Amino acid sequence: MSSGGDLKTEIIDGVGVVSLNRPHRHNAITDALFDEMCTTIRAHLSDPSVRCLLIRGEGPSFCSGRDKAELGKRAEGVDDFTFIREHQQIRLEVLESTKPVVAAVQGAALGGGFEIALSADMRVIADDALIGLPEVGLGLVPDTGGTQLLPALVGPARAKYLVLSGARIDARTAYAWGLAEEVVPVDELHDRALALCRHLARQPKLAVSMAKMLVNQASTVDVRTGMGQELLAQTALFRSDEYLSIKQDALRAREESTARSRNESDGY
């Protein structure tokens, strides 16, 4: 097993297991974690000994999305368009891979975290799962496939409900709507998801590859085009007055909260 800090990975019976490992932050995605995750997933996708991927999270949540401490921030020299496109690319590679990918989801799966799960071929979720896309409330839109992958699973009206309202749904609702193949007790999640992946890894490799391609052809043929539209919309929204105002209010509230905490710790 490799345990590189914010991410752990191992290969078990032909299953490449990728575990987000920031439980204290509900596995929120930082730039460093994203880079490590991309490297690891691509290594498993290109490794002939890996027949199936399992993406999971350590601790109480699968992934709460982009770490708020880095929300809207970019590394030097990186513009919004390039940043979003890089995040979209790994989703497309997972979708278009010939290998089956399973997401094991517990606790929070929000924003980009939910979109990680959506890009998987199947989802096994715990009975404590809470799923949602909060981007519109921030003056943004889902930008790594959320608007494109949801309608095929839940229909356009429910997709609009989740995207436009920012509502969060529980495990029972997610299963009823077609967002999960199984709901299991949280303490059984990892074992059940791994058992499914082991079964998929034992299936005939060529037949699995062709079968995944055929199902994708029926359900996700226009995803690349739609994600391109997400890219353009989000790039524009990052410069909109609405988003910048909401961002400024959030920063101000965070600074006030930090100041209050500091004062309380100093005994004021």
Q: Which residues are the active-site residues?
A: 115, 135
257 pLDDT more than 90 = no
CB 169 within 8 A of CB 117: no
- Reduce the DSSP state of residue 52 to 3 states and report it: strand
52 pLDDT more than 60 = yes
Instruction: Say if 71 falls within a structural domain.
Output: yes
**252 confidence band (pLDDT: 50, 70, 90):** confident
177 pLDDT more than 50 = yes
In degrees and rounded to multiples of 5, residue 123 shows phi and psi of -130, 125
Instruction: Say if 254 falls within a structural domain.
Output: no
Mean pLDDT of 73-89: 92
Instruction: Say if 253 falls within a structural domain.
Output: no
pLDDT at 158: 98
pLDDT at 264: 56
CB 27 within 8 A of CB 21: yes
71 pLDDT more than 80 = no
Amino acid in the structure at residue 178: G
Instruction: Say if 62 falls within a structural domain.
Output: yes
Provide the number of structural domains found in the chain. 1
Rounded Cα gap, residues 265 and 209, in angstroms: 57
**246 confidence band (pLDDT: 50, 70, 90):** very high
Instruction: Say if 258 falls within a structural domain.
Output: no
Instruction: Say if 242 falls within a structural domain.
Output: no
pLDDT at 4: 59
267 pLDDT more than 50 = no
Instruction: Say if 93 falls within a structural domain.
Output: yes
Mean pLDDT of 1-9: 79
pLDDT at 98: 96
Average pLDDT of the residues of the chain: 93
Higher pLDDT, 199 or 218: 199
User: What is the enclosing helix (H) or strand (E) of 211?
Assistant: helix 205-219
Host domain of residue 62: 2-189+206-237
Q: What percentage of the chain exceeds 90 in pLDDT?
A: 84
Size (the chain), residues? 268
Instruction: Say if 98 falls within a structural domain.
Output: yes
CATH assignment of the domain containing 140? 3.90.226.10
pLDDT at 268: 35
pTM: 0.92
What is the pairing mode between strands 7-12 and 168-170? Answer: unpaired
